[in-house]
Amino acid sequence: MKTLFVNGTLMRGLELHGNLAGAEFLGEFKTSPRYRLHSIDDIHPGMFETEEGGVAVTGELYRMDEDLRRRVEAGEPPHLYIGAVSLEDGRVVDGVLFPKAEAVKHPDISKWGDWRLYINTKHQKAERPMKHIDAEPYEFDFEPSRTALVIIDMQRDFLEPGGFGEMLGNDVSHLRSTIEPTKRVLDAARRAGLLVIHTREGHAAHLRDLQENKRIRGRGDRTIGDMGPMGRILVRGEEGHDIIPELYPQEGEPVIDKPGKDAFYATDLEHILRQRDIRYLIVCGVTTEVCVHTTVRAANDRGFECLVVADATGSYFPEFRRVGLDMIKAQGGIFGWVADSGDVVKAL
Ligand code: TIU
């Protein structure tokens, strides 16, 4: 019986493993730090022994009979040869090697020391291209597969004439102008396959999740939980609490019901984002200085890169919207980035 150390071409899980059919897999091993590894057209590794600057290379050891060993050798490209390879544990075994003079014509990937790791990283990069949005204070770079669109509280009670917002004396037209841009970003995000998350501010019918400070704040004659123009104000399940029809969630898009202004507070938003390895958030919604700001600040502290879509966020106070956006992008993007919906859609 013969043993053979291989480090790529023939490795388990890779296509050419078929060459080794019938061989017994003995395990994964490392060489002593005396080798260099080059990538031959990203098709197979070229490993050779070096006098200095050597690294340990990861590979696998197989046991096979003479016949199979001859077939393996014959199945390899002609410049590869089988020679002595010293393992980390002191053993010297046969291994598949590449002539140094040939290998050095190709890129040195010794720092990886592991062909599979190198190839996997290349594939991941290819599957995860970076995109760029023309934004302030500078370009926003993001990986679409790690990006979520978060639409904050586009609820009837905040946006519709006759809702709770208007009942409080607010001019809802300032918020309604955000619907079209948000819709365009939402459509583009859905087309691009981004994770889309909607949030709604509100409380359970029993109001046990409504803090007293929030209930009495504002000193209005009607407050959260009371009967409003579209059902009980900010109570889940009521008409006014639901998302406006123009931006209604599709099947499978998470809807986060939040009792506070911060979409992370007392919700499973962070768990959902981490579950999908999300790193970038594109944020739309209302109102800029309240729930959007609070959420973006909270997201920023959790390590998420946030871009707020300027024309897809609004406030009952236009001045607050403007200054709110300025605050996000000030000081080199202290909380994140700001861009127009057109630029976001273009990038997606
Ligand atoms: N979503 C959100 O911002 N909730 C608010 O209560 N905003 C106000 O501006 N009042």
Q: Where are the domains of the chain?
A: 2-123, 131-347
H or E, element range at 319: helix 318-333
Provide the token pair at 273.
């984002």
Task: Kindly list the protein residues whose Cβ atom lies closer than 6 A to any atom of ligand 1.
Answer: 153, 201, 286-287, 290-291
Q: What amino acid occupies position 73?
A: E
At 181 the pLDDT is 98
Q: Encode burial over 43-70: b for 16+ CB neighbours within 10 A, e otherwise.
A: ebbbbbbbeeebbbbbbbbbebeeebbe
- Distance of alpha carbon 212 from alpha carbon 54, whole angstroms: 67
pLDDT tens for the chain, residues 1 to 348? 888 888 765 554 444 446 677 788 888 899 999 999 999 888 888 999 999 999 999 988 889 898 888 887 777 777 888 899 999 999 999 998 999 999 999 999 999 898 888 887 777 666 668 999 999 999 999 999 999 999 999 999 999 998 889 988 899 999 999 999 999 999 999 999 999 999 999 999 999 999 999 888 877 788 899 999 899 999 999 999 999 999 999 999 999 999 999 999 999 999 999 988 899 999 999 999 999 999 999 999 999 999 999 999 999 999 999 999 999 999 999 999 999 999 999 999
Q: What is the CA radius of gyration of the chain?
A: 29
Give the pLDDT confidence score for residue 340 in this predicted structure: 98
The C-alpha atoms of residue 60 and residue 77 are separated, in whole angstroms, by 19
Name the residue with tokens 């290998």: 103
Closest to 295 (Cα-Cα) out of 204, 200, 186: 200
Could you confirm whether domain 2-123 is CATH 3.40.190.10? no
Q: How confident is the model at residue 8, as a pLDDT? A: 67
Q: How many CB atoms lie within 10 A of CB 209?
A: 15
The pLDDT of residue 28: 85
Taking the centre of ligand 1 as the mean of its atom positions, its distance from the CA of residue 291, in whole angstroms, is 6
CATH of 131-347, one of 1.10.645.10, 3.50.50.60, 3.40.50.850, 3.10.110.10: 3.40.50.850
Q: Whose CA is nearest to atom 1 of ligand 1?
A: 291
Between CA 128 and CA 161 the distance in angstroms is 43
Coil vs helix vs strand at 248:
coil
Tokens of 279: 């790193």
Task: Choose the residue to mutate in 153, 257, 293, 319 for probing ligand 1, maximizing ligand atoms within 8 Å of C-beta.
Answer: 153
Q: What is the pLDDT of residue 13?
A: 44
Active site residues: 153, 258, 291
**pLDDT for 44:** 82
Calculate how far, in angstroms, residue 260's C-alpha sits from the geometric centre of ligand 1: 10
Report the atom number in ligand 1 closest to the C-alpha of 315: 9
Burial 291-325 (b: 16+ CB within 10 A, else e): bbbbbbbbbbeeebbbbbbbbbbbbbbeebbeebb
Per-residue confidence (pLDDT) for residue 12, from 0 to 100: 45
- Check residue 60 and give its pLDDT: 87
80 φ, ψ to 5°? Answer: -75, 150
- Nearest CA to 43 out of 106, 133, 134 is that of 106
